[in-house]
Amino acid sequence: MRFECTETILASPAEVIIRRQIDWPTLEALQSDLIRRVEGNHSLFFLLVSEPLPTFTSGRNASTDDLLWSQTELEEKNVELASVSRGGKWTYHGPGQILIYPIGHLSSIGFGSKEARRFVETFRHSIKLGLETWNLPVQCGEEPFGVFLEGKKLVSFGLSFEQGISSHGASIYFSPQESFFSGIRPCGQSNATFTCLQEYLPDLTWHSAAVSLTNSIKKGFKIS
């Protein structure tokens, strides 16, 4: 099902912030700062784009049973653990991923206070359209929620909404991630399979992919 937001009332263009090789505590602190800025001015809207250092993150519904690596293995592979405020269970973030966090008040881009689901659907559809510009036959899936390519997961989602403000977001797999996903049951699933953009678009760079997808998201939300 396709959802589209209504007319934007942003007082200024969305600000895109890109950070690569960023550790998780620094990324969380940056996101928190942007949330505070939105709390003070609902017309602000940010797209925080990052490529973090290796981290297993656990959402509000995560179980320790789904963390498969021992502390020794985590230390050997330089993977950190972090609890996050989004919903969901365990996932992995690290080099070769494009994380995109839309941080803004729902009302600033035409959504009602109870339309978080429509916001998420619009966000996913915008990313799907961006991927389709590269002629990739991507499809949306519901359980688990994401964007898939030939049956394998290409984009994962995990958003949070507090007092009408969105945070966290989507992870697009740019390069292979399987070796790290073997350390958890992602989203509680033992049979999850993944793919990446490099497998289909070997000449695509991380930065050009991030810029293109960000532009598609801004278009989908009808913001400049």
Q: What is the dihedral of CA 120, 124, 125, 127, to 10 degrees?
A: 140
Which residues of the chain form beta strands (DSSP E)? 15-22, 45-52, 55-58, 80-83, 90-93, 97-104, 138-142, 145-149, 152-162, 165-173
As a whole number, mean pLDDT of residues 67-90 equals 88
pLDDT at residue 28 greater than cutoff 50: yes
Q: Give me the chain's average pLDDT, please.
A: 90
Question: The sheet that has 55-58: what strands, in order across it?
Answer: 80-83, 55-58, 90-93
pLDDT tens string 140-166: 998 889 999 999 999 999 999 999 999
- Among residues of the chain, what percentage have pLDDT more than 90? 71
**Tokens standing for residue 205:** 């760079």
Homologous superfamily of the 15-220 domain (CATH):
Bira Bifunctional Protein; Domain 2 (3.30.930.10)
Mean predicted confidence (pLDDT) in 57-79 = 89
Q: What is the pLDDT of residue 13?
A: 78
Amino acid at 22: I
What's the pLDDT tens digit per position in 170-199? Answer: 999 999 998 888 888 876 666 779 999 999
Q: Partners of 140 in the beta sheet?
A: 147
